[in-house]
């Protein structure tokens, strides 16, 4: 990726997307933004981008679904997945689909640029995630935490969605996270 290469930035959080786009532009990148999967797909298929930065969780879709589609159009493009809800499972899946890096929000812009350029230890998070097989307890803990976050911390609603008793969920939540 050169300084003048275009980057497609896909994130449904307008404030985060605009700030990140400004930070990348200040550092010499040409940034094109999209707020949803549909407009991102249209932009990606109609232009040649050096790379893409995809939010893992989009309102109507997932960044993981876009990786396969983006790689079909431009196999050599570097795709970086950004997430506020990182897990070993999604990192491994992103790597299998062709993502060059998997970074958590808030992201350091210089670290993101290094990943887009393939510099430094880019890919280290994906390599580390694929080297470790998570325990059943840690996968369960991550899933519970993700559903709890989606429910805004509402334990009763989370328990209903998970199909377990509220007290059982409270017991699980009162324990420390299991070792990976």
pLDDT digits (tens, 9 = 90+) for 40-70: 888 988 888 889 999 888 877 788 888 888 8
Instruction: Assess whether 24 and 58 both reside in one domain.
Output: yes
Tell me how far apart the terminal alpha carbons of the chain are, to the nearest angstrom.
35
156 pLDDT more than 60: yes
The pLDDT score that the predictor gives to residue 178 is: 63
25 pLDDT more than 80: yes
Instruction: Assess whether 11 and 68 both reside in one domain.
Output: yes
The pLDDT score that the predictor gives to residue 84 is: 79
CA dist 78 and 82 (Å) reads 13
The pLDDT score that the predictor gives to residue 147 is: 86
Instruction: Assess whether 126 and 48 both reside in one domain.
Output: yes
Instruction: Assess whether 44 and 98 both reside in one domain.
Output: yes
Highest-scoring range by mean pLDDT, 9-18, 117-126, 139-148: 9-18
pTM of the model: 0.66
Helix (H, G, I), strand (E, B) or coil at 30: strand
What interhelical angle do 88-97 and 63-73 show, nearest 10?
Answer: 10
Task: Note whether residue 169 is domain-resident.
Answer: yes
DSSP 81-125: EEESS--HHHHHHHHHHT-SEEEESS--HHHHHHHHHT-TTTTHH
Task: Note whether residue 1 is domain-resident.
Answer: no
Instruction: Assess whether 68 and 34 both reside in one domain.
Output: yes
For the residues 111-121, what does the mean pLDDT come to? 81
Instruction: Assess whether 36 and 119 both reside in one domain.
Output: yes
Number of compact structural domains in the chain: 2
Instruction: Assess whether 162 and 85 both reside in one domain.
Output: no
Instruction: Assess whether 141 and 125 both reside in one domain.
Output: no
- The fraction of the chain above a pLDDT of 90, given in percent, is 21
The pLDDT score that the predictor gives to residue 162 is: 92
Q: Write the CATH number for 160.
A: 1.10.10.60
Instruction: Assess whether 151 and 97 both reside in one domain.
Output: no
Which distant-in-sequence residues (6+ apart) come within 8 Å of 146 by Cβ? 85, 87
Task: Note whether residue 17 is domain-resident.
Answer: yes
**Cβ distance 102 to 120 under 8 Å?**
no
Task: Note whether residue 179 is domain-resident.
Answer: no
Task: Note whether residue 36 is domain-resident.
Answer: yes
169 pLDDT more than 60: yes
2 pLDDT more than 50: no
Residue with tokens 């896909």: 10
pLDDT digits (tens, 9 = 90+) for 74-99: 888 899 998 877 777 788 888 888 88
The pLDDT score that the predictor gives to residue 121 is: 56
The pLDDT score that the predictor gives to residue 167 is: 93
Instruction: Assess whether 150 and 63 both reside in one domain.
Output: no
Please list the alpha-helical segments (H only) found in the chain: 14-26, 37-46, 63-73, 88-97, 109-117, 124-131, 136-150, 155-162, 166-174
Instruction: Assess whether 75 and 117 both reside in one domain.
Output: yes
Tokens of 91: 């990192």
Q: Write the CATH number for 119.
A: 3.40.50.2300
Task: Note whether residue 180 is domain-resident.
Answer: no
Task: Note whether residue 114 is domain-resident.
Answer: yes
Q: 64-73, 112-121, 122-131 — which is least confidently predicted? A: 122-131
**Cβ distance 10 to 53 under 8 Å?**
yes
Confidence of residue 164 (pLDDT cuts 50, 70, 90): very high
Instruction: Assess whether 78 and 125 both reside in one domain.
Output: yes
The whole domain housing 93 covers: 6-131
Environment class of residue 178 by beta-carbon count within 10 Å: exposed (0-12), middle (13-18) or buried (19+)?
A: middle
């Amino acid at each position: 990726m050169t300084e003048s290469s275009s980057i497609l930035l896909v994130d449904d959080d307008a404030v985060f997307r605009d700030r990140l786009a400004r930070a990348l532009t200040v550092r010499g990148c040409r940034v094109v933004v999209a707020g949803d999967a549909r407009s991102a797909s249209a932009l990606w298929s109609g232009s040649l981008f050096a790379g893409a930065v995809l939010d893992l969780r989009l309102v109507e879709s997932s960044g993981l679904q876009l990786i396969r589609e983006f790689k079909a159009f431009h196999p050599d493009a570097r795709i970086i997945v950004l997430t506020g809800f990182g897990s070993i499972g999604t990192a491994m899946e992103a790597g299998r689909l062709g993502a060059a890096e998997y970074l958590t929000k808030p992201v350091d812009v210089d670290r993101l640029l290094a990943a887009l350029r393939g510099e430094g230890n880019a890919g280290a998070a994906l390599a580390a995630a694929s080297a470790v097989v998570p325990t059943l307890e840690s996968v369960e803990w991550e899933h519970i935490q993700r559903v709890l976050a989606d429910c805004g911390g509402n334990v009763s609603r989370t328990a209903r969605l998970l199909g377990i008793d509220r007290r059982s969920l409270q017991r699980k939540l009162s324990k420390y996270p299991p070792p990976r």
